Amino acid sequence: MDEGSIQERLLSSKAEDEHNLRRRISIESKKIWRIATPGVISRVSSFGTIVVTQSFIGHISAVDLAGYALVQTLSVRFVNGILIGMSSATETLCGQAYGAKQYHMMGIYLQRSWIIDLITLLILLPVFILGTQIFRLLGQEEGIAESAGYISVWFIPFVVSLIFSLTVQMYLQAQQKNLIIAWLSALQFAIHIFCSWLFVYVLDLGLAGAMAALCISSWFLVGGEFVYIFGGWCPDTWQGFSIAAAKDLWPVVKLSVSSGLMICLELWYYAILVLLAGYTKDAQVSISAFSICLNINAWIVMIILGLMGAACVRVANELGSGDAKAVRFSIKVIMGTSVTMGVLFWIFCLAFGNKIGYLFTNEEEVAETISRLSVLLAFTVLLGSIFPVLSGVAVGSGLQSKVALINLICFYGIGLPVGIALGYWFNLGVEGIWVGLTGGVLTQTFSLSTLIWRTDWDQEVSKTSARLNQWYLESPDNDKHVSGVA
């Protein structure tokens, strides 16, 4: 065979490999977006109700805006962080059970999460009931503390609804049936805007009207989810309420606690920074501006969280099915997608950051402070396109305890001290605090990337198989959906 023929064959083989790679990337991308798109719609819509409420309140009273910012960013984030974290165990277990074809176990895992989360929330209710006293104790201004205490009580029905909406979404997402959540969430957002306009401007109910609209729209979503599940649209994974859900709770509790710690350390980090902003000069302006910037960042991150959910499901499904090679490939594709989106959002924040504050407030000082923070916000958004997806990979594989340790070191050992030093010792105010925030996120992103890169996925497949076999219970009809389970 001459040299020309060899070279021609090599080029042909290379072209074929490139074609196969593009085809594999296309197939994996379709799988990712099939899961992520409904997740993006639902998260943007659901969080949008929080932001819309803030916008309505911001045009009612500056004091109430600061009070709402404190409650939403501190109390709700504190409790919500615990509930989301505890619920992420459902995401891990349901995703892996679906991959292993243990379909009936998904309904049992869902019910176990309801039991654990409801007990957890019952313990945490004093955070809302004693809102005014807590914010006084934290040294907030009297007017802001009283407004925050009133708003705290209104948030209780909303937080209760989150227990069901979060876990049901994870349950449906694991089996790729979350399109219904997207439709319900979009409808929820429309209902919320209409109710907010009706209660605040037409009926002139003020702050109470804005909060009532939030409660109504959140429970509309839960009601729709219950109709879908109990109405027979999940016949393989929902076989009715079972006493088995109350058994073997402790192993799930341990996984839930590690999941909760992982999420809480991240969400509380942002909450503490808002609290610190309340001790700077012009506390009312600082709290409002910082909270609005965090909400803008969070709303953009909601889109990335759709990809986080897809990462969790894809990794969990492939681990459950025992394919470590597919896990590695899926991670590469989804990380490339999220980074591309992060760059686009970074450009958007740089282009419009000096005007976006006026969507949320009429206060000139607050809008100007937001404008000063816009460059830092842009870079935080860029980093925020990476670490949630890495966290999703960790949740899908059950690595929550390691991520919790990373969050503890990066956020509280690095980001928070740097923010305090720059904000107070160097008199940089909220800008200094935000620089600390960005530093914490940067080190966390690097650490998570290292963790995922060094993970032995063949070993994780073995761990997943052992966990699923240990917690397996027979279906009521004695139909084992997966062979080889003892």
Return all residues near 72 (Cβ < 8 A) that are at least 6 apart.
50, 54, 155, 291, 295
Q: Structurally, how many domains does the chain consist of?
A: 1
DSSP annotation of 242 reads -
H helices of 278-352, in order, are: 283-321, 324-352
Tally the residues of the chain: 486
Instruction: Give domain status of residue 110, yes or no.
Output: yes
Q: What's the pLDDT score for residue 471?
A: 64
Per-residue pLDDT of the chain (486 residues; tens, 9 = 90+): 555 555 555 555 555 666 678 888 888 888 888 878 887 788 778 778 888 898 888 888 888 888 888 888 778 877 877 887 777 777 778 888 888 888 888 888 899 889 888 988 999 999 999 989 988 888 778 888 898 899 999 999 999 998 898 889 889 988 878 788 889 999 999 999 999 999 999 998 989 999 999 999 999 999 999 999 999 898 888 988 888 777 777 777 776 776 667 667 766 676 676 667 666 666 667 767 777 777 777 767 777 777 877 887 888 888 878 888 888 888 888 888 888 888 888 888 788 766 777 666 667 777 777 777 777 778 878 887 888 788 888 877 777 778 888 888 988 889 888 988 888 788 877 778 878 878 888 898 899 889 888 888 888 888 887 777 766 666 655 444 333 332
Q: Is residue 127 within 8 Å of residue 146, measured between CB atoms?
A: no
Q: Is residue 400 part of a domain?
A: yes
Establish if 435 belongs to a structural domain: yes
Is residue 27 in a domain? Answer: no
Q: For residues 239 and 54, is the Cβ–Cβ distance under 8 A? A: no
Whether the CB-CB separation of 153 and 131 falls below 8 Å is answered with yes
- In sequence order, what are the residues at sequence separation of 6 or more whose Cβ sits closer than 8 angstroms to the Cβ of residue 125? 156
* pTM reported for the whole predicted model: 0.70
7 within domain boundaries: no
| Residue 172 and residue 178 in contact, taking contact as beta carbons nearer than 8 Å | yes
Contact 314, 31 (CB under 8 A): yes
Q: Does any domain span residue 20?
A: no
Question: Is the Cβ–Cβ distance between 65 and 357 less than 8 Å?
Answer: no
pLDDT value of position 483: 34
What is the reported pLDDT for 435? 85
Please name the residues in contact with 312: beta carbons below 8 A apart, sequence gap of 6 or more: 88, 91, 92, 95, 392, 393, 395, 396
pLDDT for residue 227: 95
Q: Is residue 80 part of a domain?
A: yes
In a domain, 120, yes or no: yes
Tokens of 19: 């074609």
Q: Domain limits at 190? A: 34-471
Query: Would you say 419 and 276 are in contact if contact means Cβ atoms under 8 Å apart?
Result: yes
Give the DSSP letter string of 203-221: S--HHHHHHHHHHHHHHHH
